[in-house]
Chain A
């Protein structure tokens, strides 16, 4: 006979506390039955109220005894008193299935090459489930980067088989320490009697998984390892990165890294294809455990799918192919209406992503898209898109002209706006310039003493108005002129200047270095493929986020965007050293000695019945009993006088 839930000490403490409280209540003041009567004159004559004696002895000892016995029975039920040997109690085992990405590798023991390591793990798990006594319960836990229970503690073998059959390789490496900690905690909190913690897998864990250190698992005395032998000869792609060439904007610089996970040197070829067409080839030799990077340059301004693949394929083909989707090159169409196009051509050609179209002022059309530059003329109808007005006539300016100056001294550039970033001029004289009547929301880019001569007006369509022509003034020879136009284009079409970087890698934890302009987490947004935000941390311009499923993750910052195509599986980094005390193989369980009988239902019923009987005899129904004149003499053998 033993307790399943409580120790004997806990039971004794609880029972002592409950009994003491009951006795104390009986001694202090047992609840009296309240009764309203017509007069008290006969009651006073019949009986005197008790004052002192009730505190010195129990008034209804049988009632108290009945209550204490009932409470003891209920406590025994709570403690789950069992009849039989403790060894006969069914045990609760936790079966951890390795569902890391490596489980998709082909089994070395199968000559056909169709079976994977996951199939081997399933076979081991099924064999273990069959070996476990039918009364024992098993919890199936799938472990990769996360430990996910597939079942509760379950004795139904059909459900366990189903959970094992539905376990499939994931995309991340195995973090065994988390799975073992989860299993131990589950056994402590939720099991009737702790059984074994069984790990079925290939003993290869991720870098940073503390289970790779034997010390972390020596404290698990009930660990059993069902190891699956694997062939570690594998060469796989680790990452692929793509960015625009710094020298030629039409060229993509492509970096592909491959890793040799095996123990023998390997020579592999990296093939590059863009939009289905061959785009490059490199052959590399990899020493065991080494990683090498191949560089490609590919010229295109079209969008398409870039694919890198390894040849020959090995037993784990999932990491032999990486895919990236190259975005189209952004471009801005600028329509210039000028009778002297040569003046503006050098300024616009300095920006590579601008396509300029020069027209005579007589060819003006108001429905142009992109950006429109109007050079010293008044259009019959204002443009419907962003526009730069250069020295417009006073009666046709979008911003009213206050005055027209001759030989004006340029005073200053604005200092607190990105439009004026890097602008410096010295002793700049303007032969003729219009001073504008700017609105409070306008940005005064350049000013003379009398007022602004270059004004930017934000809004649905952005407008910049020059009060003079920069190419027919002294400003023509200033470096500030192309800088000013570049700033205006960046302000009007910021996507042109946004830096893009693309990378293909493996799922799991991703780290990236941010630009200097990223100062706080609010400047960064990490979004998954479906647009939902992913949690991340930013520490010293180093961004870290985690994703457990393959897909595309976009990291957006004020100055650019990084696209991570996380389609490569995360593979192991080290081999797990099994602890010395771990058991191996499928066990043979000894037959359990007899069976342990649960007594708590009977005890609970008896306890509840005892309380009901006590309530019936001494509680509310006592009145009815008295009416029926039931013999109460066996409860109280003699009448008491309380006085």
Chain B
């Protein structure tokens, strides 16, 4: 029995008019679609600067030299090709409950990959848990989307999450700064704020997509509970009632707000996504509003 594809064709056609956006200016070769404040071999005039030995004589503004007898160099704006990296959380916490969270994350990753492929972006997609997993590099147009779909369909969730370790590994693997999209529930007992700050400080632009199920934000249970951490196996016995539920939800919202603040403070973006939201609404609503795509 053939498995259902993550995204259907009608939805993919709608995605073709979108573009992944980033706010930071990155160095890179011409060929991208976002302007950069760095000058380069583009077509659009950006500025003048004094000529220094070794500069390209073809960029000297000879008219200005004749009038002012000074050498000025013309600088042109470029649209560099910026590497897009996407990390998708495959820890056990993503598969808890009915597994909708992980399914949702895979669909979201597939949709963003398709948007990037349509705009000829190069996207490195890598799963992560306690460590970074073997990923897939995709680029070269929409016809390269099929391997991405296959890869995402074969992904399985399991294991713990260690943000500090994957941050260390990521920085060691990728020297060139770029856009880093992280799709995760960010529910780690040890906290992920500090590792994410490291990534931002290193120069990557963060796009944090926090996927949660309704149980994560507002647990439906009540009474005497014995809770088991899905990743660590730690047990906790407690009584849970409406008041405690309110406290829980408040703590969760505070945590999500902290993640958003971290992203915005570092010129990144944050989108909180409930699995009860339609993926189309998230792509064309929340992500567009957050200027993650346009």
Interface set of A (CB-CB < 8 Å, partner B): 30, 32-50, 59-60, 618, 622-623, 626-627, 632, 636, 639-642
Once the chains bind, are B220 and A47 in contact (CB under 8 Å)?
no
Going nearest first, the 7 A-B pairs with the smallest beta carbon separation are A38-B93, A642-B239, A639-B241, A46-B248, A639-B243, A39-B187, A46-B247
Once the chains bind, are B225 and A35 in contact (CB under 8 Å)?
yes
Residue ID in chain B nearest A633 by CB atoms:
B242
Once the chains bind, are A36 and B241 in contact (CB under 8 Å)?
no
* A33 neighbours in B (Cβ, 8 Å): 221, 223-226
Once the chains bind, are B220 and A626 in contact (CB under 8 Å)?
yes
**A-B contact count, CB below 8 Å?**
114
* B241 neighbours in A (Cβ, 8 Å): 636, 639-640
* A32 neighbours in B (Cβ, 8 Å): 224-226, 237
With an 8 A cutoff between CB atoms, is B33 at the interface?
Answer: no
A47 smallest CB distance to B (angstroms): 4
Given A36-B96, A49-B236, are A43 and B222 neighbors across the interface (CB < 8 Å)?
Answer: no
With an 8 A cutoff between CB atoms, is B238 at the interface?
Answer: yes
Contact of B229 among A39, A618, A627 (CB under 8 A): A39
Once the chains bind, are B239 and A37 in contact (CB under 8 Å)?
no
**Within B88-102, which residues are at the interface with A (CB < 8 Å)?**
93, 96
A55 smallest CB distance to B (angstroms): 13
Given A36-B228, A38-B96, A59-B224, are A639 and B244 neighbors across the interface (CB < 8 Å)?
Answer: yes
Once the chains bind, are B189 and A39 in contact (CB under 8 Å)?
yes
**Within B182-238, which residues are at the interface with A (CB < 8 Å)?**
185, 187-189, 215-216, 219-231, 234, 236-238
Contact of B238 among A49, A618, A632 (CB under 8 A): A49
Question: Taking each of A36, A39, A48, A640, which has the highest tally of chain B beta carbons within 10 Å of its own beta carbon?
Answer: A39
Residue ID in chain B nearest A627 by CB atoms:
B220
Once the chains bind, are B189 and A41 in contact (CB under 8 Å)?
yes
**Within B15-69, which residues are at the interface with A (CB < 8 Å)?**
none
Q: In the complex, A623→B220 CA distance in Å?
A: 6
* B236 neighbours in A (Cβ, 8 Å): 40, 43-44, 49
Question: Taking each of B219, B221, B224, B234, which has the highest tally of chain A beta carbons within 10 Å of its own beta carbon?
Answer: B224
With an 8 A cutoff between CB atoms, is B170 at the interface?
Answer: no
Report 8 cross-chain contacts, Cβ distance below 8 Å, ordered by A residue. Answer: A32-B237, A35-B226, A40-B227, A40-B234, A43-B240, A46-B244, A47-B238, A48-B238
Contact of B222 among A38, A41, A49, A632 (CB under 8 A): A632
Given A626-B221, A640-B241, are A42 and B228 neighbors across the interface (CB < 8 Å)?
Answer: no
Q: Mark B154-175, 1 if CB is under 8 A from A, else 0.
A: 0000000000000000000000
With an 8 A cutoff between CB atoms, is B76 at the interface?
Answer: no
A288 smallest CB distance to B (angstroms): 90
Contact of B226 among A34, A44, A641, A642 (CB under 8 A): A34
* B216 neighbours in A (Cβ, 8 Å): 37-38
With an 8 A cutoff between CB atoms, is B251 at the interface?
Answer: yes
Q: In the complex, A41→B222 CA distance in Å?
A: 18
* A48 neighbours in B (Cβ, 8 Å): 238
* A30 neighbours in B (Cβ, 8 Å): 224
Given contacts A36-B229, A639-B241, 17 further A-B contacts (CB under 8 A): A33-B224, A33-B226, A34-B226, A34-B228, A35-B228, A36-B96, A37-B96, A37-B215, A37-B219, A37-B230, A38-B96, A38-B230, A39-B93, A42-B248, A43-B248, A50-B238, A626-B220
